[in-house]
A and B are shown apart, each in its own frame.
Chain A
Amino acid sequence: MANQIKNAFIAAILTAFIVTPVFGLQLVRQGARTLMAPHWSNVLIAMAVVFVGQLLRPWLALPFKRMKGTLPTLPAAPVQGHKWMMIVLIVAAIVWPFFSDRGSVDIATLVLIYVMLGLGLNIVVGFAGLLDLGFVGFYAVGAYTYALLYHWGGWSFWEALPFSGAIAALFGFVLGFPVLRLRGDYLAIVTLGFGEIIRLLLINLNWLTGGPDGISGIPKPTVFGLEMARTASVEGQKTFHEFFGLTFQNQHVIVYLYLTALLLALITLFVATRLKRMPVGRAWEALREDEIACRSLGLNPTRIKLSAFTLGAMFAGFGGAFFAARQGLVNPESFTFIESALILAIVVLGGMGSQVGVILAAILLTVLPELAREFAEYRMLMFGLVMVLMMMWRPQGLLPMKRPHVELEK
């Protein structure tokens, strides 16, 4: 008991140190001068809460311990593609926006962008086990590739899309080289730096990228060359609604964007699933498990790592191009570290390597903040809390990856 009181006391003192600069000293403006006004009562309250909390911790922990045992467990992600279920889900996803309101479709489009990014990062982090904290860099490269191709060359979305993927893949490939020798924490730091370099370049290359203002007026995807706009940007061309004799509705544009995103996300899912089962996918996973054993079997780790970086970055590039088209403008503000963290959180929360899990996590982490708009200020706080709780209760993620089961013929 004496020990507990001592611990609680130390915790309370530490709390005082941590809390004082944040709550205890508040800045007060008086004309041109800024004064610091101490609020000791806040600090005392915090200390008291921590002291009591620490004293009662053993009792507070009890219900959680019990809960841990009875917490419902989710089934592991199914391996065999339940074909019919997939088809039903896809059809539902296609039909749904026509009966939904604008806001929801908009959020769903955002979800699909994150699904694309999550699946892309899942290749690097989940399959190959290379912790990449600068993934947003490739997203930015994709977005700016389309933006610049439009700005300087007048390219349309569908023309620029393959290039966005290719240029992002090239950046992934180039980044791959210096980090080949790195693993774990070191790799994370270098990739983090890479993400920041891209963002700072975008801010500072004023002549090319428009600096902090970015590039605006980027057109939305066309429908086989027909613009989705109230009036055609080029004299004499027909827009989508004129061609089909409809009246212009903003809803059409939103739904079309959603369907485009759905198409891209489905392609990403399809390709990533195939890749996983292919020799290169197996090699990624083997590399994650044991690089030395890989080498001893004649697998070239350089090629395997580079292929993971390149392909992962490619999907980020596609996602970026779509993002640019949807927003209509790109600026460096959209590609901060927080985005990288969010995408990584999607992969970790979903269950590293599990594609269904990643999709589920992308939905959760995008929709929940939208639903809880009133708590926007606490968004990152809740985010952190969810991650901590997940690591305690389900470190393997929402829907952990299950190994494929293969029946051998006699």
Chain B
Amino acid sequence: MSDVLLKVSDLCMRFGGLLAVDHVDFEVKSDEVFAIIGPNGAGKTTVFNCVGGFYDPTEGDIVMDGQRIKGLSSHMVARSGLVRTFQNVRLFKQLTVLENLLVAQHTQVETRLLPGLLKLKSYRQAEADALARAAQWLDFMGLRQYANREAGNLAYGHQRRLEIARCMITKPRLLMLDEPAAGLNPHEKQDLQRLIDRLRREFGVAVLLIEHDMSLIMGISDRILVMEHGKPIMTGTPQAVRSDERVIKAYLGEE
């Protein structure tokens, strides 16, 4: 039994009169793939934004590895080891693929001004390391030949992979993927499934994802949280979710 990495309790997010997230509870263990599913408008992305520090939740608590991250600004949340991708890929489009990966290492490299201006040894070493790590991730994602391309010019599937690489290079402990399969063809979806699996096995990262593609979800998730109208319906294994009447009702409607 592995320990709990992320614990979200009693999370509420209210926008004026709309309760977008209504008392959601869940835990992500340090080596599992946890999925949130639900019909459009169920509040999945809002949960993501709350966890990632982009929204300040109205109620509830979010704890990452024993440390409270609720109310922290998003960059501090990211530094606690929780990094996300976006529903619409958000790359630095005019920067090259390589630069995207270098920027992501900002918190790991020498950012002080003087060592950089004087090109001191510590700075050169840090830069060389950053470049090496970037090259390693490019190889891992099969994007090496595009290293000097502008990120905005990559094929969509490649942009998705680059976005994941950009997250992974920050050495996160929890990777949050917001609809990673959106816009991918069936072949690319299979690749994505293998990729997520490898990330978990080789880098020991926990994955929290939102997805609409059921075959992907059922294939890789350890546990699934189903949401509807901001409320959690159930949490369980893929088998349990698949056969649950409330879930079927939420997706297919009542007779």
By a beta-carbon cutoff of 8 Å, the part of chain A in contact with chain B is 271, 274-275, 278-280, 282-283, 285-286, 289-290, 292-301, 403-406, 408-409
Contact = CB atoms under 8 A, between A and B. Distances in A.
Contacts of A405: 96, 148
A279 B104 CA distance: 10
A289 B94 contact: yes
A292 B150 CA distance: 19
A403 B152 CA distance: 13
A403 B135 contact: no
Interface string B75-113: 110110001101000111111101100111011011101
B161 to A, nearest CB: 16
Q: Is the interface of A mostly helix, strand, loop or mixed?
A: helix
Contacts of B98: 406, 408
Nearest to B138: A408
A280 B83 contact: no
A289 B93 contact: yes
B96 A279 contact: no
Nearest to A292: B90
B95 A403 contact: yes
Contact of B90 (A283, A285, A290, A298): A290
Contacts of A403: 94-96, 99, 148, 150
Contacts of B106: 279, 282-283, 297-299
A290 B96 CA distance: 14
A35 B92 CA distance: 62
Contacts of A298: 75-76, 78-79, 83, 106-107, 170
Contacts of B116: 274-275, 278-280
A406 B131 contact: yes
A280 B103 contact: no
Contacts of B150: 403
Interface in B98-141: 98-99, 102-104, 106-107, 109-111, 113, 116-117, 119, 123, 131, 135, 138
Nearest to A280: B111
A96 to B, nearest CB: 29
Nearest to B93: A289
A408 B131 contact: yes
Given A286-B103, A301-B75, A296 B84 contact: yes
Contacts of A295: 53-54, 73-75, 78
A297 B104 contact: yes
Q: Which of A280, A285, A293, A299 has the most CB of B within 10 A?
A: A293
A289 B95 contact: yes
Contacts of A286: 92, 95, 103
A297 B166 CA distance: 8
Nearest to B113: A280
Contacts of A285: 92, 94-95, 99, 103
A165 to B, nearest CB: 14
Interface of B: 52-54, 73-76, 78-79, 83-84, 86, 90-96, 98-99, 102-104, 106-107, 109-111, 113, 116-117, 119, 123, 131, 135, 138, 144, 147-148, 150, 166-167, 170
A298 B83 CA distance: 8
Nearest to B135: A408
Nearest to A304: B106
A274 B117 contact: yes
A275 B93 contact: no
A290 B89 CA distance: 11
Given A285-B92, A299-B107, 13 more contacts: A278-B117, A279-B102, A279-B109, A282-B95, A282-B99, A283-B106, A283-B111, A289-B95, A293-B86, A295-B78, A296-B78, A297-B167, A406-B147
Contacts of A406: 96, 98, 131, 147-148
Nearest to B123: A278
Nearest to B176: A296
A282 B111 CA distance: 11
Contacts of A293: 86, 90-92
B235 to A, nearest CB: 26
B41 to A, nearest CB: 21
Contacts of A300: 75
9 nearest A-B residue pairs (beta carbon): A298-B78, A289-B92, A278-B116, A293-B90, A295-B74, A286-B103, A298-B79, A279-B111, A295-B75
B139 to A, nearest CB: 9
Contacts of A282: 95, 99, 102-103, 106
24 contacts: A275-B113, A278-B111, A278-B113, A279-B111, A279-B116, A282-B102, A282-B103, A285-B92, A295-B54, A296-B86, A297-B103, A297-B170, A298-B79, A299-B107, A300-B75, A403-B95, A403-B96, A403-B99, A403-B150, A405-B148, A406-B131, A408-B98, A408-B131, A409-B135
Q: Which of A271, A278, A285, A298 has the most CB of B within 10 A?
A: A298
Nearest to B89: A293
A293 to B, nearest CB: 4
B16 to A, nearest CB: 21
Contacts of A279: 102, 106, 109-111, 116
A282 B93 CA distance: 13
A209 to B, nearest CB: 32
Nearest to B84: A296
Nearest to A405: B148
